[in-house]
Structures are given as structure tokens and as C-alpha cells.
Chains A and B, each alone.
Chain A
Amino acid sequence: MAPPTALLSLPAGAGTSSITLQLTPPLRYVLRIADTCLIHAQRLAEWCGHGPVLEEDIALTNMALDLLGQARSLLSHAGRLEGQGHDEDQLAFLRDERDYLNLTLVEQPMRRSSAHAPGGDFADTVLRNFLLATWLKTLWTRLAASSDEALAAIAGKAVKEARYHQQHAGDWVLRLGDGTEESAARLRAALDRAWPYTHEMFRRDAVDAAAEAAGLGPGRDALREAWLAEVAAVLAAAKLVLPADTPFLSTGTLGRHSEHMGFILAEMQSLQRQYPGGRW
């Protein structure tokens, strides 16, 4: 049977081409943070309607919306820094995979949508949210003193949100780690899965050096000490042992992503690609 013609005819503007960016070091610096917030928000939002209980479902999506708001502010700012007239929507939805500069950790699946899909469970979500919220809180705190006033203002607002995310996720880490045998085992497994990706959070490169020299913000390596102290304290209280560091280094912040990134982008971009500038 032939498929209905409606399914074959693509709307006007289908296949909207990608935008290409002039990636200067300051733009890369801002996009790394913006994209980390954006993709983490997308992963958290996958829980919408699937949370373990109604209350936590709302909490997870509230946090996703906070992160999306941070991503929007940063992407708008990145558009101004770039000076080619790109707005937040174009930057969020019309780049090619290699032009996204998020930490690889945030693109890893964290909710198994079916028995055949990759992904983890609520423990992965809690643990990752805790590791990232602590990282973002440390980063926002430092960025509040940025020489870039717009970035400092975004950071000043975001740090309150990150503090709450850290507390909420940290409280769950305690409850799962020091809960039942089952919850502790799942949290341990989640920690083992996430830990190798944390290496990238503190990997200093030329972009960090340039940002530091210009007073734009801290190099990632400068965040490690404060981050590790807070993370280690909560993990110890949750009766978890810090995993050993491994030589593995993920490269999302360089635009080289894991196999999961293309799937997220396909889902995120499909609407904007088919209906460019679509509004409702």
C-alpha cells in the first residue's frame, strides 16, 4: 500500500541548512557552558511524565527549565559575541554536531526508555545532576566576577539555581547511597559510569588560558579543588568510595562527541529544521 501523500510532502523550508560559526576562543568558552546547560536540560526533560513519583517528576523538569533558561541567556550572549546576527534559536537548533561544545557527560543517556534502548536509571540522573550542579555552581560563582558584564549577570542569577540543584541532587545521593542494598548498588554503578567523564570537566586547554588571561572566566582546571572537596564530602556521607581516575578523556568540548549526540540533536532539531523560525 502506498503511503499517504501527506507524509511524503515536506513543508516549505524543509532541510534548512546549518549555520556555521566563526569560533573565536571567547565564543568557544561561552558555548562550552551554554551547550552543557542545553544538553543537560534536554536529558533531564526526558523524565517529563516518567519520573519515579509525581513530585520528583516536577522537580526534574523544573531543574531542566532552569538549565534551559541559563542556556538561552548564554546562547543569546554568544550570538552577540559572534556578531553574525544569530539568535538563540539558530544557535540551539541549527548547528552541526561538531559545532556543539558541551561536556560529553551530559549527552550520555540517563533514562532507559525501553528494554532495548541505551541508558541508565534514576540513580544515573541523580548522580550526574549532582556532579554537574556542583561543577556549575563552582563555575557560576567564579564567573560572577567576569570582565564580561553580561556573563557576570547571567552567572549571578544562575548560581542560585545551581545551589538548589546541588542540594536537591545531593540529598538524593545520600538517600540512595545510604538507603537499601539495591539503591546503594545502583548508585555505585552510576558513579562508575559517570566518573571517567568528569576528567573533561577540568581539562585545561588554549580556550581556558585565553579566558583566564582576558578575565572572562576561570580555566576549567581551577574548578577541580573546590568541586572535588564538595563531591567527596557528599559521596563519603553516602558511603560511596571515590572511583580511581582513568586515563580516558572525553572530547565533547572540542566538538568530538559520543555516539549519542546525533540522536539528541535529531530530536531537538527536527522541529526547527522543518519549520524554521516556527512560533506558537
Chain B
Amino acid sequence: MSTSAGEWPLWEVFVRPKAGLDHKHCGSLHAPDAKMAVQLAREVYTRRQEGTSVWVVKSSDITASDPGDKGMLFDPMEDKVYRHPTFYELPDSVNHM
């Protein structure tokens, strides 16, 4: 872990608001280890009954796309409207698609 001396590693926190929903990223915090990170996530991010389950993952374990590659990675999809299922005739009974 490449943190400066005396500083706890950073953890990303994911909270599941209720059963059946996905864990959603809600922020980060510093903690000395994984177990304590879960406890501190409970303190910091579920104070108002926001959660029923918490995941933490070391921020350094996340590999992210480079913001500089945003154009290369994502812009080519801009003109491929045919990838959206909007060309199908839907029966009237299907309201929310």
C-alpha cells in the first residue's frame, strides 16, 4: 500500500439500501484494516438507516479507466442508436420498456 507513514489506507464503501437492491457506491473512508473499515462504514454511511449490508474494498484494488481515454473508449458508441431496443414494435400491454 503506498500511503504515507502513519496514514490508514483508503477504502471504498458500497451500501445495499434494502434487500433485493444492488450495493451502491456511496463514498470512501480511512481505516486500518478491512474489519474496522466495515465498522466505520456503518458509522459514517448508515447513520440514518441507509443500509442493510455494507461492502468495503481497498481503493488501491480498484483499477479504473483513464479519464484521458474517455473519448477513445466511450465516444464511438454515440452514433450506434441501433443498439437501443427502440426499433421493436411493442404490444400495447407493455407500458414501461
Contacts and interface: CB of A to CB of B under 8 A. Distances in A.
Interface residues of A, number: 11
* For the complex of A and B, 8 pairs with smallest distance between CB atoms: A55-B40, A59-B43, A58-B43, A55-B29, A62-B43, A168-B39, A58-B44, A55-B44
B17 to A, nearest CB: 19
Interface residues of B, number: 13
A255 to B, nearest CB: 35
A175 B35 CA distance: 11
Contact of A62 (B8, B29, B30, B47): B47
A58 B47 CA distance: 10
Interface of B: 8, 29-33, 35-36, 39-40, 43-44, 47
Nearest to B35: A171
B44 A167 contact: no
Nearest to B8: A53
A56 interface: yes
A279 B27 CA distance: 35
Nearest to A168: B39
Contacts of B39: 59, 167-168, 171
Contact of A175 (B29, B36, B40, B44): B36
A148 to B, nearest CB: 29
A225 B46 CA distance: 34
B35 A56 contact: no
Contacts of A54: 30
Interface in A5-56: 53-56
Residue among A55, A62, A168 with max Cβ neighbours from chain B (10 Å): A55
Nearest to B7: A53
B43 A175 contact: no
Contacts of A168: 39
A244 B33 CA distance: 33
A56 B42 CA distance: 11
A174 to B, nearest CB: 10
A58 B39 CA distance: 11
